[in-house]
Structure 1
Amino acid sequence: MTRLRVTPGYRRGRDRLYVSRRDGMAVAWYDKSTGRINLLTGAARDDVLAALAPYLAGEVTVGPAPVPTPAELDRLSLHPDDDLAPNRPGEALHAALDHEEPAPGPRLPALAALRRRRDPRRTELAAQQLLGAALDALEGAGWRVLHSIPLPGAARIDHLAIGPAGVLTVRTLAAGGHRVRVADPLVATGRGAPLPHLRWARRDAERASLALATAVRPVLALAGTHPHSALPAPPDVRVLRETDIAALASVGGVLKPADIEALYATARNRHTWHRA
């Protein structure tokens, strides 16, 4: 076995590395939290260790994989290029900003450095990371979360959360510590011009519902809003602060664990979203 590929898996952070052949067939995975390399049937131990060598630190144990769950089987059968689970919050912004990062060399002129700091995309990325972390923390309560889901036409769903309370699309808005004013469908932060964020949040949910063939509720999540902001919202869109996300852990009664895993397996496949 040669030319194995290593792909990170996102689960409360990038805590797993999956090893697969170039055709996408998984042969092993490395669990960072336990330091164990799990080999699937037919995997060549030496080849797997060679592929993972650059990523290993300290002692590891190697052995046959435990009997995989249905969700794990779905993960292992999905080609790495088609799996959305490794996406970080704000993945597209990461890619764009990394592409523009200057090459190592002399220090940037002061004006150029100032422009970089004021780039609104960096503020948006920070907001998506904040909300993404809050959503990932729901995993212990039975939730599954995906970030930066690409849609046809270059659009993206910031976050998709699937859990006991149902399926939610979460659109992120960076408030920057300003007061937020909501007048459906418009939302304004500080002195900024009102924009139809509620309409956009509804559209995200509609497209997700079409792709997943299930009911999806829209959420507009505000990062860093002024504590005295009043957040009225229509009954069909939830408007939450980042500090409100944790309360979703206590909400249930809509989806059973098996339904959550089945929807998550469908949602993580990039091809699912081609029909959205």
Structure 2
Amino acid sequence: MSGLRVVPTWRHGQERLYVCLTDGRNVAWYDRDASRVNLLSEERESDVLDVLAPFLTGQVTVGPPAVPTPVELARMALHPDDDLAPNRPGEALRIALERDPVPARRLRADPRHRALAAEETVGDALDGLEAGGWRVLHSVPLPGGARIHHLLIGPGGLFCVGTLAVRKQRVRIADPMVTVGRGEPVPLLRTIRSDAGRASFALTAEVRPVLVLAGSGVADLDVAAPPRDVRVLREGDLPALARLGGVLKPADVEALHALARDRHTWRRV
């Protein structure tokens, strides 16, 4: 008998099977997602593999634990309450609707529902870029009650993405004003530039502003002149961002994502 036992646990959202001595000390753990057995004592390799045999699936790598990178160490040290990575698209709007729901007898639909649907649509499209080496954060809070709808970080650089809900309406853009249908003009481009500037200050890197028109389609887009330094996209144009590159290396992307996901990064901008 080896005197080893297997203890299943969850760590950082992933299942791990720890191999322990009778006194509770760990000698190894099996990470199913990584298909790797990490040994703390190479002398016990044979015993560890024997006791893990019923749990192993497919080919596994066996060896000492990898030395964590500075980015991984920072992520592990981040308190869950300060981690923005789990935020869903439209997280702030979801919370606002839960705290202040629409009265049952209200005649007009709450515009927050349309705004939330637009953020969810754009957020899902941006999440789909992660396979190409991009990272996305949603609903990034800024001091003063402002927020960045989506922050996109990847090979093509950093983008502050604002979402505007439209429903087969005419959109007129006369920098910095944006008018949807018969609504009042709003200096939306100025707001997006400001948010991008604050993000650049927080991350000490250039962040470019993007406005995405999302919803059931734009009946007509009237742009008086190409907006200065703001990219205006329709919802279907988002995959074009995935083709951008040559700005950040993968290690830079991960480092900036680790910095941006920390709530404390945004408290002084």
TM range (shorter): 0.7 to 0.9
Task: Give the corresponding residue for 1:180.
Answer: 171
Task: Give the corresponding residue for 1:29.
Answer: 12
* TM-aligned CA deviation for residue 177 of structure 1: 2.0
Change in 2 beyond 3 A, CA 1:203/1:78:
same
Question: Separation in 1 of the partners of 2:110 and 2:17?
Answer: 45
Task: Give the corresponding residue for 2:39.
Answer: none
Q: Match for 1:38: what amino acid?
A: R
TM-score, L = length of structure 1: 0.72
In structure 1, the gaps of 5 or more residues are 1-18, 20-26, 32-36, 46-60, 103-111
Task: Give the corresponding residue for 2:193.
Answer: 202
Q: Match for 2:211: what amino acid?
A: L
* TM-aligned CA deviation for residue 39 of structure 1: 5.7
The reply on whether 1:38 has 2:16 as its aligned counterpart is yes
Question: Separation in 1 of the partners of 2:219 and 2:18?
Answer: 51
Identity over aligned residues, as a percent? 55
Q: Deviations over 1:122-168 (max 9, x none)?
A: 11111110111111111011110000011111111111000111110
Task: Give the corresponding residue for 2:37.
Answer: none
Question: Separation in 1 of the partners of 2:242 and 2:168?
Answer: 25
**Residues 84-99 of structure 1: matches in 2 within 5 Å?**
84-99=84-99
| Residue number among 241, 254, 271 corresponding to 2:234 in the alignment | 241
Change in 2 beyond 3 A, CA 1:157/1:41:
farther
Task: Give the corresponding residue for 1:191.
Answer: 182
Q: Match for 1:242: what amino acid?
A: E
The reply on whether 1:136 has 2:136 as its aligned counterpart is no
Question: Separation in 1 of the partners of 2:56 and 2:77?
Answer: 21
Q: Deviations over 1:30-89 (max 9, x none)?
A: 44xxxxx136899999xxxxxxxxxxxxxxx69999748634443222110110001111
Change in 2 beyond 3 A, CA 1:220/1:69:
farther
Provide the aligned C-alpha RMSD in A. Answer: 3.0
Task: Give the corresponding residue for 2:205.
Answer: 214
TM-score, L = length of structure 2: 0.74
Task: Give the corresponding residue for 2:81.
Answer: 81
Larger displacement relative to structure 2 (208-217 or 66-75)? 66-75
Question: Separation in 1 of the partners of 2:227 and 2:259?
Answer: 29
Q: Tell me if the contact between 1:30 and 1:38 (Cα under 8 Å) persists in the aligned partners.
A: no
Question: Separation in 2 of the partners of 1:201 and 1:259?
Answer: 24
SS in 2 for 1:181: strand
Question: Separation in 2 of the partners of 1:90 and 1:237?
Answer: 22
SS in 1 for 2:12: strand
Change in 2 beyond 3 A, CA 1:68/1:98:
farther
| Residue number among 221, 231, 235 corresponding to 1:229 in the alignment | 221
Question: Separation in 2 of the partners of 1:136 and 1:210?
Answer: 24
Question: Separation in 2 of the partners of 1:39 and 1:271?
Answer: 33
Question: Separation in 1 of the partners of 2:118 and 2:136?
Answer: 16
Q: Tell me if the contact between 1:208 and 1:216 (Cα under 8 Å) persists in the aligned partners.
A: yes
Q: Tell me if the contact between 1:39 and 1:62 (Cα under 8 Å) persists in the aligned partners.
A: no
Q: Tell me if the contact between 2:141 and 2:266 (Cα under 8 Å) persists in the aligned partners.
A: yes
Rg larger for? 2
* TM-aligned CA deviation for residue 99 of structure 1: 2.2
Task: Give the corresponding residue for 1:264.
Answer: 257
Question: Separation in 2 of the partners of 1:215 and 1:246?
Answer: 21
Task: Give the corresponding residue for 1:23.
Answer: none
Question: Separation in 1 of the partners of 2:246 and 2:150?
Answer: 21
Question: Separation in 1 of the partners of 2:134 and 2:141?
Answer: 21
Q: Tell me if the contact between 1:29 and 1:39 (Cα under 8 Å) persists in the aligned partners.
A: no
* TM-aligned CA deviation for residue 274 of structure 1: 1.0
In structure 2, the gaps of 5 or more residues are 1-8, 27-54
